[in-house]
Amino acid sequence: MASKTEKHVPIYNLTVKVFSKGDKEGKTVSIKKPFTQWFDKVGHFVAFPFQQMIATSVKVVGEADPSKVVEVKKVHDAEDKSMDDKWASLLAESSGVSLDEVASPASTLGGRKKRGKKA
């Protein structure tokens, strides 16, 4: 196990090398997380979230202590959405409006906004 930080960067870099029986090279697991996940507002280290991060990221540790493993929820279809759809989702989420009520620019003709007729 090795850890590393960079000056003025609040990211903790942890490298864990896991060996199984008969495996001489091992498997390397790299973890990069912000320090704020394990320190409270006063600056005290909080062990439980650190233990969860290790158990979730390193399979053998998670198998040894399954109570600390956190299920990672995957964001579905985030990569498949256009930037316009992502902005529409963000706008709808922040304004409390459902996505059905917001027409994304990509869903209108040619990606342009429809204009109403002047009276």
64, 84: one domain: no
pLDDT tens-place string over residues 32-65: 888 888 888 888 999 999 999 899 988 888 988 8
Residue 87 domain-assigned (yes or no):
yes
Condensed to tens digits (0 to 9), the pLDDT of residues 59-95 reads 888 988 888 888 866 555 556 677 777 777 777 776 6
In a domain, 119, yes or no: no
**What is the dihedral sign for C-alpha 7, 10, 61, 73?**
negative
118 lies in a domain?
Answer: no
**Which carries the bigger pLDDT value, residue 80 or residue 97?**
80
**Number of folded domains in the chain?**
2
Answer yes or no: do 32 and 58 share one domain.
Answer: yes
Tokens 């316009």, located at residue? 84
- At residue 75, the pLDDT reads 56
Do 62 and 24 share a structural domain?
Answer: yes
Q: Which domain holds residue 9?
A: 2-68
The residue among 77, 104, 110 whose CA lies nearest residue 89 is: 104
- For the chain, the helix, strand and coil percentages under 3-state DSSP, each to the nearest 5: 40, 20, 40
